[in-house]
Amino acid sequence: MMSFVLAGLFLGFLGLLLMLHVFGLPANWLILAAVATWGWMHAGFAGGIGFFAVLFALCVLGEVVEFAAQMWGGRRFGGSRKGAWAAVVGAIIGGVLGAPFFFGLGAVPGSFLGAYAGSLLVELGQGYPMATARRAAWGAMWNKVFGTVVKVCIGVWMIVLSFDLVWPD
């Protein structure tokens, strides 16, 4: 009975870790570390090197997709390479500045708006017309949203893959 309670609490903890994406934190990497710690502490854990290689690959995939989407987004919508990098930096700054609002949930719109603002400011600074700069910034922002959604989905996938290994027989 106690093993079911512990497994349930641990799976709930993984769900809480998943919510760290809201703050722009490396939730998937923390899920990987937590599952590895669980496996180390429980002798009956059946996840081997292959299982952890899959979780590691999923973490890397999430980072690559998020970064590539944001870099590609501004470029696809007429922005420059500098504007795409500014969107990445702007998303980080916006997430940090937004974090104190709405009990931390302000980090999400902060990172999205930061990506927009970073791209917009750099594109305008390079002499792009306002309409072109806005279009590039819009693309950078929406691809930041896409990248974040992909990372959350990958985190859910990691938890689902871990469920059977954590839940007692």
DSSP 65-128: HHHHHHHHHHHHTT--HHHHHHHHHHHHHHHHHHTTSGGGTTHHHHHHHHHHHHHHHHHHHTT-
pTM of the model: 0.81
Residue type, 145: V
Report the C-alpha gap between 116 and 16 in whole angstroms.
Answer: 28
Sorted by sequence, the CB contacts under 8 Å of residue 96 that are 6+ apart come out as: 24, 107, 110
Give the pLDDT confidence score for residue 106 in this predicted structure: 85
Give the pLDDT confidence score for residue 29 in this predicted structure: 97
Report the C-alpha gap between 9 and 14 in whole angstroms.
Answer: 9
Give the pLDDT confidence score for residue 138 in this predicted structure: 92
Which ranges of the chain have pLDDT less than 50?
A: none
Report pLDDT digits (tens) over 103-115. Answer: 777 888 898 999 9
Give the pLDDT confidence score for residue 21 in this predicted structure: 81
Report pLDDT digits (tens) over 81-110. Answer: 898 889 888 988 998 898 888 877 788 889
Residue type, 83: G
Q: Where are the domains of the chain?
A: 2-166
Tokens, residue 76 = 């696809």
